[in-house]
A = this chain, B = another copy of it.
């Protein structure tokens, strides 16, 4: 099939078609950015759904088949699958092809995927910072990325025009694109995203260990703050398992700092130190202003 005149890519292969993959497919379709969308997934159910939603021109169980002839490949699987997917698709990759991804950790992508790619293939790791607590191909929508950040972490020496083309794709999706060092990305995201998810998973888990009567009331009166945590803790378990395993050092570092701060607060409560509590709560209030000023509220 000939690509439309203005298509950014002749053939895009999406490996994995969950929330992010399907949302990206919606964008490709909406704006006619791909001459052909090839979708690869491990489950026939996901591939059938992608076809039914009109998101795939072809569907494949074999990643090598999906990437054959593609000028852009985007990995949209959990991080833990990258090594397997990379090895499986490598034989199908054509020289000049761009391989990107949407994973929440970036050093591990360069570590795991980089060595598997043939010469002449451009690795441009990416992280569209967007999501919902829903998962799967039915959860996707084109507007997911609108007004959000997309961070690209190309290794030193990456072909500049390959980076530009990936940036153009995400800008078309409504995102503001930033280039960042992968190590720095992993540190920042450990704080803004990985730790909050870890905390939310923990607090919800703590609540589920309560006696059944108390637990029912916790659900009932969840509007006081707990509800926000249950939403975060409903995120995809496989994706998040892989995030923590692949960003272990940065997550453990920030978690250590958090635990120390929590212990200090616990001590202040136990010792009735009202002034210390008030000072801390006033300080955190100012942070909200910082977030609002950064247009993220």
Cα distance, A197 to B76, chains bound together (Å): 34
How many A residues, CB 8 Å from partner? 93
Mask of A255-297 contacts with B, CB within 8 angstroms, 1/0: 1011101110110011010100110111111011011011011
Contact B191 A199 (CB under 8 A): no
- With contact pairs A228-B232, A241-B274, A277-B244 given, residues A191 and B205 touching in the complex (Cβ less than 8 Å): no
Q: Mark A217-228, 1 if CB is under 8 A from B, else 0.
A: 111111111111
Q: Which stretch of A12-20, A116-124, A245-253 is in the interface?
A: A245-253
| Cβ B226 vs Cβ A191 within 8 A | yes
**Residues in B whose Cβ lies below 8 Å from that of A297:** 227, 230-231
Contact at A284–B234, with CB atoms within 8 Å? yes
In the complex, which residues of chain B have a beta carbon less than 8 angstroms from the beta carbon of A231? 228, 288, 297
B287 contacts A230, CB within 8 Å? Answer: yes
Closest chain B residue, CB of each to CB of A243: B277
Q: A36 contacts the other chain (Cβ, under 8 Å)?
A: no
Report A's interface with B, CB cutoff 8 A: 80, 104, 129-131, 133, 148-149, 151, 187-189, 191-193, 195-210, 214-235, 237-238, 240-242, 244-245, 248, 251-252, 254-255, 257-259, 261-263, 265-266, 269-270, 272, 274, 277-278, 280-285, 287-288, 290-291, 293-294, 296-297
